[in-house]
Amino acid sequence: MNPESMDNVFQALASSVRRQILDIVQSRPGCNVSYVCRYFDVSRIAVMKHLNVLENAGLLITEKQGRTRCLYFNAAPIQTIYERWTTEYSSLWAGRLTEFKRQLEEPRKVNRD
């Protein structure tokens, strides 16, 4: 997973509305756009933009059936990030804030992600 798509996933999750949308779709796999819209006070276009952000991040899968767009939640990106971060920050996720002082003698450009 490249840093760009990691950005997309975190960015997508950084909105309460979008996290709610994930909840809704998860509880109703295959539901359509109008169904999701009923839960919110904002316009359908605004909801569609949120859906597109989520789809772009890979958190939603779309399947067009006739005139309706069926929505499915995809947990894979979250799992990937979780696995990645548990490896890199394993001690931290485990709950211990270890003061692991790696000897970094001279600053250099970091190339993470």
Pair 58, 18: CB distance under 8 Å: no
Alpha-carbon span 93 to 82, nearest angstrom: 10
Among a second copy, DNA, none, partner that 100 touches (CB below 5 to 8 angstroms by kind):
a second copy
Smallest gap from residue 91 Cβ to DNA (A): 26
Inter-residue long-range contacts of 14-22, CB under 8 Å, 24+ positions, other chains counted: 15/50, 15/53, 17/42, 17/50, 18/50, 18/53, 18/54, 21/47, 21/50, 21/51, 21/54, 21/60, 22/54, 22/59, 22/60, 22/73
Among a second copy, DNA, none, partner that 57 touches (CB below 5 to 8 angstroms by kind):
none
Kindly state whether residue 53 participates in binding DNA, applying the rule CB under 7 A.
Answer: yes
Among DNA, a second copy, none, partner that 26 touches (CB below 5 to 8 angstroms by kind):
a second copy
Smallest gap from residue 80 Cβ to DNA (A): 20
Residues that bind a second copy (CB under 8 A): 3-4, 6-7, 10-11, 13-16, 19-20, 23-24, 26-29, 35, 38-39, 73-75, 78-79, 82, 85, 88-89, 92-93, 95, 97, 99-102, 104, 107-110, 112-113
